Amino acid sequence: MSKKTILYIANGNSIHDVKWMTYFSEQTEKYSCYLLCDTLCELSAQTKTTLEKSAIQLVQQIDPISITRPLKTWRSIRQYKKLVKVLKPDLVHVLFATPNALWLNFS
């Protein structure tokens, strides 16, 4: 079985999200796990350390989707598409439906 790549779109500050991601990330022979948060999610140093210890790789944050700022949204979509192209995830897993599920439209 080849190693699977999982891209999580989640809130890194949520203990529930981190526990879910950790289940897979600690199986390093089976999974490579990446976390994408938007810029509204400020991660503490402690959270970043926890993610690192759990083998969850934090990717560059992106601006959230905004109806009132279409240019910023367009840049974020481009950044997201580029990330997906580079990582080539086998699975994109959204751990909070709104607004994170909107990103799946651009995969």
- Taking only the tens place, the pLDDT of each residue in 49-96 is 999 999 999 999 999 888 899 999 899 999 999 999 999 999 999 987
> 3-class SS at 29?
coil
pLDDT of residue 81: 94
pLDDT, one tens digit per residue, over 16-56 is: 999 999 999 999 999 999 999 988 889 999 999 999 999 99
Contact 25, 31 (CB under 8 A): yes
Q: Tell me, rounded to whole angstroms, the distance of Cα 37 from its chain centroid.
A: 5
- Angle subtended at Cα 85 by Cα 42 and Cα 107, rounded to the nearest 5 degrees: 75
Query: What is the chain's Cα-based Rg?
Result: 14
Contact 32, 5 (CB under 8 A): yes
